A and B are shown apart, each in its own frame.
Chain A
Amino acid sequence: MRTWRVLGIALCAGLMACGGRETGVRFPGATTGLLRPQRLDSLATVIRQLNAIVLADVRDISTDYDRCEGPRTVLHLAGVKVLLGGAHPDTMQLRLFGGSLPNNRYVEMSESPRYMLGRRYVLFLFNRDWRFSPVISDHAFRVEPIAGREVLVAPNGKAVTGVSDRAVETETRMLFVPEGLPGIGTVSMSPTPVVAFTPCGVNPDGTPNCPRLPASSPVSNEFFPVPEPWTPKPPTREDVASTLGIDDLVRRIDAAARAIGVTPGGYFASRPRLECWDASPTREPAK
């Protein structure tokens, strides 16, 4: 069944005509045996699409451009150690979508994690083909030593605290500001002010007797409130008291995999084989 579907997709791509519509979708290479990612809506769907969890150092970051793959940011991983799942050599390259086009413009996909040169990461790799990244969703956890602990920091700047049926949970405060984009600028953050709730009393007639507040005031149309960029206060021992280390996380993922009868491993695609970067096939939702 899958073979027929794959053949159908390949045929459509080859003829550029499906159902009378021109598709225009191109593929980077051979389109046989394509294994498309399934939607990631629970921890189980992550585990079912998990080739391996690896620990690796980002030794170098380079850029590459291919007409079909598009601009790629290449992570050069060294000291790769497989923590769970399929085998990998001790050096790898991950070809992530994003970077400069020949016209000097920059492209990226919105939900893709950004990586820091020289840091160590725990990465969840797909056992599917992929278009933008071989790392599953945002499962790229930077290893940071904090208060004598080995803490796994998610791309959102929060640390891993557990594993639930839904996801790898990150229930700390934001410990680090997310990274910016090379060539574009930096990410800046700012908090909004604290606002207090004040309970009201009750008048004899039952109506609320609330404290008087300063009058609401209109703001001049010329006034643009621009807060100072915000940096999180340095993480403390208390912030990371309930975080998981590498072994804890892997043990819990392994247990969750066993519970659903899945053994991580299998196929790994080192290069994108799904549609070329410059077009995406669309699909109508079910009614």
Chain B
Amino acid sequence: MTRSILKHVALWGAFALATVRVGGYSVLRCDRVAVRPLPNPIVLRPNGCAIKDFGSPVGRSASILAREGSTYWKTLMPQPNVADACLITHGDGTWDLATVDAGAIDGLAGGTFKQYEQCPDSHIVEADIMVDYQLNFDQSDQRTFLNSPTMAGAGRHAMLHEYGHALGLQHADDAFAVMRSKMTLKAPMGGTNNSGSPHYFFADDAFGLLQIGGIPRNLPNFYVSAQALVNNGQIANASDNPATGMPYSNPLAVHTNQLITFVANAGVHSWWSRNITLRAYADSSAECTPLPGVGVTLGVFVVPLSQFATASSVVMVKIPPLGPSGQLLNVHFAGTLIGSPIPGGPETRGWDDCATTGLRLQAP
């Protein structure tokens, strides 16, 4: 054991310092049964006055919601009808999606009107999703958490969060989840390799959706993120110093053999337990890749991922030689599946995932 540790110190010097217990989900139950949507499939109508097509940023946000929602609960989203009136009605049994003036939702970034049947045998019979039209509906920067409605991705996140409510999820503020109650509590983003978007439900959200009855389908095998859960349910960026909670100076001037710590994160949002390796590496490219051999390895970890679990950890790495003096290298996390656990199953290395952090190292 001691010899093994010495070997780590001598070579990569990678340590897992602490692993944080991850929050969980929250759902409403009636007679112990999770309250779930009545319609299956859900037909979610985008209001054509507010969302005119699926090509605009807000339309793409709606598409992401529909794709992600359909993973758990069959969701149909018809083409917007531009002749729609500039309003949505509540209590009519139709599930609507619209952007509204924040004044219509008491200044909030989003809100969902929900209509239930009373307990017992409660179901959600209608949910109308409204998000502030002034939010930024562009894709977020996966390197950093969202903590303000003004940031890129705030609109996409708000839509997905509200759809979580529409499906029956409640807030879960100790979780690494889309269902954290507000952006000021820092909303995590995933890596983009798996889905093409960092906006998706994480393990805790998925576990809640499973209780509701949304059986996940066609999910990628796992995800990595450049954010992680730290003490007391807080979210930190990998570019933050875990000791101080403050961002590292960026770029961070380092010297060979220096020990630095950052947070790392991976998870599985389906019911397949999987083992992965998480490689932290530094590379001149700002784009990450799960391909082996790219860049300079900072540390490698194995992570046994349980079904519906996100693993967050503070890790320490020893800086190896980084090449020409002054060179700037981006720190990335690459997750790769160990083996192929299900013979003939859907798992391929093509579904490996990566996340780029905001941390750049300056070679000594």
* Chain B hits for A211, CB < 8 A: 302
CA distance A181 to B118 in the complex (A): 10
One digit per residue, 1 when the CB lies within 8 angstroms of any chain B CB and 0 when it does not, for chain A 247-280 equals: 0000000000000000000000000001101111
Known: A186-B29, A226-B211. A166 touches B184 (CB 8 A): yes
Say yes or no for A45: interface residue by CB 8 A criterion.
yes
Listed from nearest, the 6 A-B pairs whose CB atoms lie closest are A36-B103, A216-B341, A195-B311, A185-B30, A197-B16, A37-B107
Known: A39-B102, A131-B106, A137-B107. A185 touches B31 (CB 8 A): yes
Say yes or no for A230: interface residue by CB 8 A criterion.
yes
Interchain CB contact under 8 A, A110 and B111: yes
Contact of A184 (CB < 8 Å), options: B11, B116, B148? B116
Say yes or no for A121: interface residue by CB 8 A criterion.
no
CA distance A167 to B275 in the complex (A): 39
Contact of B98 (CB < 8 Å), options: A101, A138, A282? A282
* Chain B hits for A181, CB < 8 A: 28, 116
* Chain A hits for B89, CB < 8 A: 24, 278-279
Interchain CB contact under 8 A, A217 and B273: yes
Q: How many A-B contacts if CB must be within 8 Å? A: 346
By beta carbon, the residue of chain B nearest A208 is B300
* Chain B hits for A7, CB < 8 A: none
Say yes or no for B56: interface residue by CB 8 A criterion.
yes
CA distance A232 to B19 in the complex (A): 19
Interchain CB contact under 8 A, B134 and A187: no
Interchain CB contact under 8 A, B28 and A201: no
Say yes or no for B203: interface residue by CB 8 A criterion.
yes
Say yes or no for A219: interface residue by CB 8 A criterion.
yes
- Inter-chain pairs besides A192-B204, A282-B98, A284-B58, 12 sampled, C-beta below 8 Å: A21-B49, A39-B102, A39-B109, A105-B118, A170-B173, A171-B232, A178-B170, A190-B24, A194-B21, A195-B305, A278-B89, A280-B90
Say yes or no for B14: interface residue by CB 8 A criterion.
yes
Known: A208-B277, A230-B24. A218 touches B85 (CB 8 A): no
Which secondary structure dominates chain A's binding surface?
loop
One digit per residue, 1 when the CB lies within 8 angstroms of any chain A CB and 0 when it does not, for chain B 19-62 equals: 10111111111110001000000000001011110001110000
* Chain A hits for B105, CB < 8 A: 109, 131-132, 280
Contact of B155 (CB < 8 Å), options: A106, A108, A285? A285
* Chain B hits for A105, CB < 8 A: 115-118, 125
* Chain B hits for A101, CB < 8 A: 91, 115
One digit per residue, 1 when the CB lies within 8 angstroms of any chain A CB and 0 when it does not, for chain B 97-135 equals: 011111111111111111111110010010010101111
